[in-house]
Structure 1
Amino acid sequence: MRILALESSADDTCASVVCDNRRVLSNVVIKQNSVHEQHGGIHPYFAIQTHQANMPFAVQRALREADLSASELDGIAFTRGPGIGGCLSVGSNAAKSLAAALNKPLVGVHHMQAHALTPFLISPPHLAPRFPFLTLLVSGGHTLLLLAQSNISFRMLATTLDESIGRSYDKVSRLLELKWGDHGPGAALESFASQSDYESNAHESATTLPPSDTTLPEMPKPLPSRLAFSYASLHSAVERHIHAQGGIDQVDNESRRSLARAFQSAAIGQLEEKVVLALEWCNNNQISINDLVVSGGVASNMYLRSRLQQCLQRHSASENPIRLSCPPPALCTDNAAMIGWASMHRFLASDHDDYSIELRPKWDIQELAAH
C-alpha cells in the first residue's frame, strides 16, 4: 500500500510517499527559515503564503522521487491537527482535492501521534518500542509526556503550563542574536553552546562553563516534584540577565556562550526530572515500562539525547534497562513520512475520513481513542 502524505502544520511544507512495509519512497521537506528569520519567529500570514507556493512542488517532487504516478497511489493522508489553522488548511485542501480528483481514500492524522509512532517506521519489529511505553514529545508547539498504551491510546502525564521547550529555545536564541542557519533558532543555540572559545576546552561538554564566569544568573527549577512543565521562567532569567548587563551588545561572546549552556542544561534537566517522576508514577501503578520514545523537533538535539540516555541508565534496573528510542534528526523535525506511517493502520483497516473532514488546530491526543 502506497500512501501520499502531506504535512503543513507550522513552517515546513512536506510531502512523502510511504509503504505499509515501512519503506519511505520519498520524503520532501521545504523549509521557510529564510522567510521567518527576519520576523524573529513563525509569522502565520507568510507561513500560509509560502505553504501555498511550495505545496505543488513538494507533491510533484515526492511523486517523482518515488517514481510513481498519482494514479498508482492507494490513499492520501494529511495533518489534521494540531497546528496553525491557516497552515493546516493548505495541506488539508491539497489532500482533499487530490483524493477527490483521483477517487482515493483520505485519512487525517494527529501530528503528535505521528511523532510518537515514528520509531515503528524506522525500526524492525524486534527493536520497535513495546507498549506500554513513555513518550516525550518536544517541539516548538508542545512539551508532552505521555503513556502510550496503543497506537491510538495515549494518557497525558505532563504538559507545559506556559510555553513549550522549543519556543523557549527559540526565544533564548533570539535574545543571544544567533544566526538561524539552515535548521532554525533552536538548532543554532545547540550548535553555539557546543562550541568553545578556548582551544583547551574544545572537547568539553556543552554545559562546561569557563572557570572565571561567576556572573551567570541562577536558572530557576520550576514545579519541583510535579508532573508538569514550565519553561517561561528559563528564557525570562536569560532576558533579565542580558538587560542587567546593558543589552546584548554589552555581553561578550564567552558570556553569551555560557548563557546558552546554562539555559540548555536547565531546560533539559527539567525533562530529566519529569521523566523520572513519570517512571515512578508508572511503578506505583504497576505499569512496566521498557522504552522511552523521544520525538519532535527538539529531539534532534544531540545533547538532549545524551543526557536522557544517562538518566535512563541511572533510573532503570541493570537487568532490564529502559531503552531510549529517538528517530534520526531528519524524522524528528516536521516531515510527512511520519504522517503517512501514522495513517497506515487506518488505511489497512479501510477506516477512512470523509472529504468534508474538518481541521483540529487544537486537538487533545487523548481524544484519539474515542474515534
Structure 2
Amino acid sequence: MNKSIILGIESSCDDTSAAIIKGNSILSNIAASQKIHLEYGGVVPELASRAHQQNIIPVVHQALTKANIQQNEIQAIGFTRGPGLLGSLLVGTSFAKSLAMSLDVPLIEVNHLQAHILAHFIEDANPTPPKFPFLCLTVSGGHTLIVLVKDYFDMEIIGKTIDDAAGEAFDKIGKVFELDYPAGPIIDRLAKEGNENAFEFSKPKLQGYDYSFSGVKTSVLYFIQKEIKKNPNFITENINNLCASVQKNIIDILLNKLKKAAEDYKISEIAISGGVSANSQLRESLKKLCLQKKWNYYIPKFEYTTDNAAMIAMVAKLKFDKKEFTDIRTTATAKYNL
C-alpha cells in the first residue's frame, strides 16, 4: 500500500513545529520553543510572530532531514489555520501556502483543537487508539473542553470553561507563588514533595459539564495575601504543600465533570489531550478513576501533548485520504470552532 507523505506545520502560539508523517507513522517531529516570553511572564504576541518568522525555515529543513525525505516527495502540506494567536498563525499559513504552490501539492487546513484530540491516532501515541464514541478532556493554556468524539470529524463540545482555562489558572496561580512562566510544569514538580491535603481552596458550583477556574485563582490569591500578613515567608516555607493542594483542586474539578459526562452519556472510552495532559498527577488520577469505573483510558505520549506538528500532520493525513483540500486563498483565523 502506498503511504502518503505529508508535511505538518504548527504555529498557533509560541512553538514553531514541523513534522513528517508517512501513513500514520511520524518520521520526524521538530519544535523550536521561544524562551523570550519567560521575561514577560506570558506569551507576547508580537514577539511570538517575529520568532516564528526566524524559526520556520530551519525547523522545516530539520524535519525533512531527520525524516530523510526530499521536498519533492511531499504529497501535501497540512497547517494550523486556527484557533490561536493571529500573528503566529499568519506566519505558518503564509509559509504553508507558498511551499504548497512551489511544490504544486494540495494544501490542508487543520483545526488546532481537533488535532490535539486526533493525536491519539498517531501510530505510536497509544498502544491502541480510542474507539468511537469516546470522551476527550482537552485541556491546555488556552482551552478546557469536554468533547464527545463520534468520529474523526464528528465532534461535539459538551463542556467548556466559562472563564480561564485550566492551564491559564496554573500559570496565574504560579505568578502568585512567584514561580517562573510557564508555571504548570513547575507546580507539577514541586507538588511531588508536598501534601495535597495541606490547604483547601474553593471549587465552583456549576451545573452541567462547564468549568470555571477564576474563582479558584481568586481564592488562592486571597488566602496568600492573608497568610503573608501573618508570615512574610509563608510562600517559601509552604511552596510544596501549596503546589500540591492547588494541583489537587484543579484536577478534582477537571475529573469530576469528566466523570459526570461519562456516566450520563454511558461512555467508557476516555481520553485526555492538550498541554495540561502532560501533568503527572492528572495522568495518575485519570488512570485511577478509569480503573475504578472499569473504563478504558487513553493518555498520549508526552511529545504529542504540547503544541506539535505531528498532530497537525495526523489530521492532514486523514483529510488527504478524503481528498479534503483547502483553497490557496484561505486565511488564518484566531477563532476556529470544532
**TM-score of the superposition, structure 2-length normalised?**
0.94
Match of 1:153 in 2: 154
Matched-pair contact (CA < 8 Å) for 1:48–1:87: yes
Matched-pair contact (CA < 8 Å) for 1:225–1:277: no
In 1, distance between residues paired with 2:305 and 2:318?
21
Q: Structure 1 regions of 5+ residues with no counterpart?
A: 197-205, 210-215, 284-288, 366-371
SS of corresponding position for 1:233 = helix
Name which of 290, 308, 315 aligns with 1:312.
290
Taking the TM superposition and a 5 Å limit, the aligned residue runs for 1:101-140 are 101-122=102-123, 127-140=128-141
Q: CA deviation at 1:120?
A: 1.1
Match of 1:231 in 2: 213
Match of 2:145 in 1: 144
Deviation per CA, 1:259-290, whole angstroms, max 9, x where unpaired? 2111111100001110121012203xxxxx23
In 2, distance between residues paired with 1:249 and 1:38?
25
Match of 1:221 in 2: 203
Q: In terms of mean alpha carbon deviation, does 128-137 or 249-258 score higher?
A: 249-258
Deviation per CA, 1:36-93, whole angstroms, max 9, x where unpaired? 1111111101111111111111111111111112111111010011111111111101
In 1, distance between residues paired with 2:303 and 2:333?
25
In 1, distance between residues paired with 2:53 and 2:144?
28
Alignment identity in percent?
33
In 1, distance between residues paired with 2:59 and 2:233?
44
SS of corresponding position for 2:119 = helix
Q: Which amino acid aligns with 1:263?
A: V
In 1, distance between residues paired with 2:189 and 2:247?
11
Match of 1:187 in 2: 185
**TM-score of the superposition, structure 1-length normalised?**
0.86
Match of 2:9 in 1: 6
Match of 1:25 in 2: 27
Judging changes above 3 Å, is the alpha-carbon distance between structure 1 residues 236 and 126 closer, same or farther for their aligned structure 2 residues? closer
Match of 1:201 in 2: none
Q: Which amino acid aligns with 1:175?
A: V
Taking only aligned residues, the RMSD between alpha carbons, in angstroms, comes to 1.8
In 2, distance between residues paired with 1:39 and 1:140?
16
Taking the TM superposition and a 5 Å limit, the aligned residue runs for 1:270-285 are 270-283=253-266
Q: CA deviation at 1:225?
A: 4.8
- Alignment pair present for 1:352 and 2:330: no
In 2, distance between residues paired with 1:43 and 1:311?
38
Match of 1:203 in 2: none
Q: Which amino acid aligns with 1:275?
A: L
Matched-pair contact (CA < 8 Å) for 1:223–1:229: no
Match of 2:309 in 1: 336
SS of corresponding position for 1:127 = coil
Match of 1:46 in 2: 47
Q: CA deviation at 1:224?
A: 4.5
Deviation per CA, 1:221-249, whole angstroms, max 9, x where unpaired? 10245311001111221211222234795
Q: CA deviation at 1:256?
A: 2.2
Q: CA deviation at 1:208?
A: 5.2
In 2, distance between residues paired with 1:49 and 1:195?
39
Matched-pair contact (CA < 8 Å) for 1:6–1:339: yes
Judging changes above 3 Å, is the alpha-carbon distance between structure 1 residues 126 and 69 closer, same or farther for their aligned structure 2 residues? closer
SS of corresponding position for 1:154 = strand
Q: Which amino acid aligns with 1:116?
A: I
Q: CA deviation at 1:125?
A: 9.7
Judging changes above 3 Å, is the alpha-carbon distance between structure 1 residues 310 and 124 closer, same or farther for their aligned structure 2 residues? closer
Q: Which amino acid aligns with 2:193?
A: Q
Q: Which amino acid aligns with 1:29?
A: A
SS of corresponding position for 1:64 = helix
Judging changes above 3 Å, is the alpha-carbon distance between structure 1 residues 124 and 85 closer, same or farther for their aligned structure 2 residues? closer
In 1, distance between residues paired with 2:28 and 2:128?
23
Q: CA deviation at 1:3?
A: 0.5
SS of corresponding position for 1:112 = helix
In 1, distance between residues paired with 2:66 and 2:316?
21
Q: Structure 2 regions of 5+ residues with no counterpart?
A: none
In 2, distance between residues paired with 1:188 and 1:249?
22
In 2, distance between residues paired with 1:130 and 1:299?
19
Between Structure 1 and Structure 2, how many residues are aligned?
A: 334
